[in-house]
């Protein structure tokens, strides 16, 4: 488990490219037959990927020890979105089939969560976020259709995209975690511009569906102190409450957003006018 400390906006201002990347970018999300795990002190979100190929993968007791509990989800909830081939997730003996672009919410208290792929030639790739929880809400699979796809933006501003809200209060109750998947239409490059901050929540972005020679310039920083991070396929960015989070790609791409914090109101954003950005 890799730990990232929280960071003050005044400190972030001083960092060079390598320094910013060390604090905010998670370069390695998927490794065959194991899980990756980054623990951020910002709202104590945990971010990672699970890619079972030939073996089953479970997030075991050693993580519980590092978290000061006896098992991973003793005091946490989990959201998973599969971006790979068909997969299976067994939660305390109940099997959930989780296909490409489908999600599973696992409530606090699940002791054993085991991940596997249906076909080793097309391995599942389970991207996950986990947040501290106070009660148990039911474990549930969510399909793409249930995520109420909504298309917004315009070709003229190069930001036509479909937002799929998988883990939000309209779909199912959770303690604090919300997660969704946003797909840019072909020829469209910008996400979340005009941009926003939300003092009341942090957010993690995970970019994927990108060709080898493409990248996303992820915009971060306070609105009058912007920086960018070069993101390649299947990499994630931690976005503190004080930071904008927007991006422009050299080609269209898809990303998963996950948020934790004070509220779960998707539209609770402090919008920033483009003319006010620096
Ligand atoms: O395309 C978008 O715009 C988004 O997906 C918005 C993000 O999810 C977000 O920043 C929510 O606060
Ligand atoms: Zn946001």
* Domain segments of the chain as ranges: 2-276
* CA of 275 relative to ligand 1 center, distance in Å: 20
Q: Given pLDDT bands bounded at 50, 70 and 90, which one contains residue 68?
A: very high
Q: Given pLDDT bands bounded at 50, 70 and 90, which one contains residue 258?
A: very high
Residue nearest to atom 8 of ligand 1 (CA): 257
User: Does 86 have pLDDT greater than 80?
Assistant: yes
Assess whether the C-beta atom of 222 lies below 6 angstroms from ligand 1: no
User: Does 60 have pLDDT greater than 80?
Assistant: no
- Closest atom of ligand 1 to 163 CA is 5
Q: Among all ligands shown, which has an atom nearest to the Cα of 194?
A: 1
Is this prediction's pTM over 0.90?
yes
Cα(131)–Cα(52) distance, rounded to whole angstroms?
Answer: 23
Q: Looking at residue 64, what is its pLDDT?
A: 84
User: Does 246 have pLDDT greater than 90?
Assistant: yes
Residue nearest to atom 5 of ligand 1 (CA): 182
Q: Given pLDDT bands bounded at 50, 70 and 90, which one contains residue 61?
A: confident
Report the alpha-carbon angle 39-104-198, nearest 5. Answer: 50
Q: Among all ligands shown, which has an atom nearest to the Cα of 268?
A: 1
Residue nearest to atom 2 of ligand 1 (CA): 192
Assess whether the C-beta atom of 203 lies below 6 angstroms from ligand 1: yes
Q: Among all ligands shown, which has an atom nearest to the Cα of 241?
A: 2
Residue 150: other Cβ atoms inside 10 A: 12
Q: Which of 148, 157, 198, 257 best tests ligand 1's pocket when mutated (most atoms within 8 Å of CB)?
A: 257
Give the whole-number percent of the chain exceeding pLDDT 70.
100
Report the alpha-carbon angle 88-94-100, nearest 5. Answer: 25
Phi and psi of 275, rounded to 5°? -65, -20
Q: Looking at residue 152, what is its pLDDT?
A: 97
Check residues 62 and 200 and name the one with the higher pLDDT. Answer: 200
User: Does 248 have pLDDT greater than 90?
Assistant: yes
Binding positions for Zn(2+) are 196, 198, 203, 245
- Closest atom of ligand 1 to 201 CA is 12
167, 174 in Cβ contact below 8 A? yes
Assess whether the C-beta atom of 269 lies below 6 angstroms from ligand 1: yes
Which has the closest alpha carbon to 147: 81, 234, 89? 81
Instruction: Give 104-153 pLDDT, tens digit per residue.
Output: 999 999 999 999 999 999 999 999 999 999 999 999 999 999 998 999 99
Length of the chain: 278
Average pLDDT of the residues in 28-34: 98
Assess whether the C-beta atom of 261 lies below 6 angstroms from ligand 1: no
Assess whether the C-beta atom of 227 lies below 6 angstroms from ligand 1: no
User: Does 170 have pLDDT greater than 80?
Assistant: yes
Right CATH number for 2-276 from 3.10.20.30, 3.40.50.880, 2.60.120.10, 3.60.15.10? 2.60.120.10
Site of tokens 């493409």: 214
Strand order in the sheet with 38-40: 2-4, 38-40, 46-50, 126-132, 76-82, 102-106, 140-142
How high does pLDDT run on average in the chain? 97
Q: Is the dihedral of CA 16, 223, 2, 236 positive or negative?
A: negative
């Amino acid at each position: 488990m890799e730990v990232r400390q929280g960071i003050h906006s005044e400190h972030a201002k001083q960092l060079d490219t390598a320094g910013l990347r060390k604090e905010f970018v998670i370069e390695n999300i998927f490794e065959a037959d194991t899980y990756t795990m980054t623990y951020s002190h910002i709202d104590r979100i945990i971010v990672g990927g699970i890619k079972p190929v030939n073996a089953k993968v479970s997030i075991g007791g050693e993580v519980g020890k590092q978290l000061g509990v006896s098992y991973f989800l003793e005091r946490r909830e989990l959201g998973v979105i599969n971006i790979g081939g068909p997969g299976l997730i067994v939660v305390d003996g109940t099997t959930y089939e989780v296909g490409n672009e489908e999600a599973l919410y696992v409530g606090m208290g699940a002791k054993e969560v085991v991940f596997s792929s249906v076909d080793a030639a097309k391995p599942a790739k389970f991207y996950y976020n986990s947040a501290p929880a106070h009660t148990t809400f039911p474990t549930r699979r969510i399909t793409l259709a249930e995520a109420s796809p909504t298309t917004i933006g315009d070709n003229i501003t190069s930001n036509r995209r479909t937002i799929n809200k998988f883990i939000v209060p309209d779909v199912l109750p959770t303690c604090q975690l919300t997660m969704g998947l946003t797909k840019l239409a072909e020829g469209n490059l910008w996400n979340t511009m005009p941009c926003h901050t939300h003092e009341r929540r942090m957010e993690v972005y995970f970019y994927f569906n990108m060709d080898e020679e493409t990248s996303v310039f992820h915009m971060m920083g306070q609105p009058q102190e912007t920086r960018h991070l070069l993101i390649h396929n299947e990499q994630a960015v931690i976005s503190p409450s004080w930071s904008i989070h927007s991006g422009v790609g050299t080609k269209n791409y898809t990303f998963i957003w996950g948020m934790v914090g004070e509220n779960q109101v998707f539209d609770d954003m402090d919008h920033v006018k483009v003319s006010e950005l620096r």
